[in-house]
Amino acid sequence: MSGKWIAVACTAFIAPLVSAQTVDEIIAKNLEARGGLARIKAVQSMRETGKLSAGSFQAKFIQLNLRPNRVREEVVIQGMSQIDAFDGKTGWRVSPFEGRKDPDLLSADDMKGLMTDADMDGQLVDYRNKDHRAELEGHDSVEGTDCYKIKLTLSNGDIRYFYIDTDSFLELKIETQRNIRGTVQYSETYYGDYEDVNGIYFPFDIEVGEKGSPDRTKFTIEKVELNVPMQPTQFAIPTGGAK
């Protein structure tokens, strides 16, 4: 092989390596696409309201977030609310539809989803400081759209796969592997209809279901409010304690 063709072959081999992006570069572009790290961290509280539907079932929902690591989620039907909340240390639930109007404490496994939701920035922000581990697993497709696939191993051992659009750098899907009472549960969440709220992009169309299942619960966000007044007591176990 002549020197000319050796040079061409080497250039063809090296070019993709030079252009390849690291997992941290992709995460940085994702955060920038969302609105930038400074804007994301400037949000001290958030309220999302909307509707959820699962088959013929429909309800209103409200999610409140307050730093640091507090979340309260309500599903409202005919004026009654099922509440799941995490105050940064303790998780609790009120289930009036099951005849339980007093709060019940949640186990460590049952709190996992709430603790994920309580991370208002998202798990990719400062992931090393949270003792998570990120790995780039190449490319994959979400409903025909090319995505970067990032494997994030959480500090508790659960795994989340982030599918990030190679064009917009926004999340299109997250797959979750969560260990609940010794059994691994697989779920997936689809994100769409991103809208700008005070310079930050939020998905207003979210669908959640078991991995591979066509049956999904659809969340239609109607309003996202940032830095609204909230008190830590809204996330604490109601007076009287929990059972």
Domain range list for the chain: 21-234
Q: Give me the phi and psi of 114, to 5 degrees please.
A: -65, -40
Which is the CATH superfamily of the domain at 21-234?
A: Lipoprotein localisation LolA/LolB/LppX (2.50.20.10)
Strand residue runs (E) in the chain: 45-54, 57-66, 70-77, 80-86, 91-95, 100-105, 133-142, 145-153, 159-165, 171-180, 183-197, 200-210, 217-226
pLDDT tens for the chain, 243 residues long, are 455 444 444 444 443 433 468 999 999 999 999 999 999 999 999 999 999 999 889 999 999 999 999 999 999 998 899 999 999 999 999 998 887 788 999 999 999 999 999 999 999 999 999 999 999 999 999 999 999 999 999 999 999 999 999 999 999 999 999 999 999 999 999 999 999 999 999 999 999 999 888 899 999 999 999 999 999 999 999 876 555
Q: Alpha-carbon distance 84 to 89, whole Å? A: 13
Q: Alpha-carbon distance 181 to 91, whole Å? A: 17
Q: Alpha-carbon distance 209 to 110, whole Å? A: 17
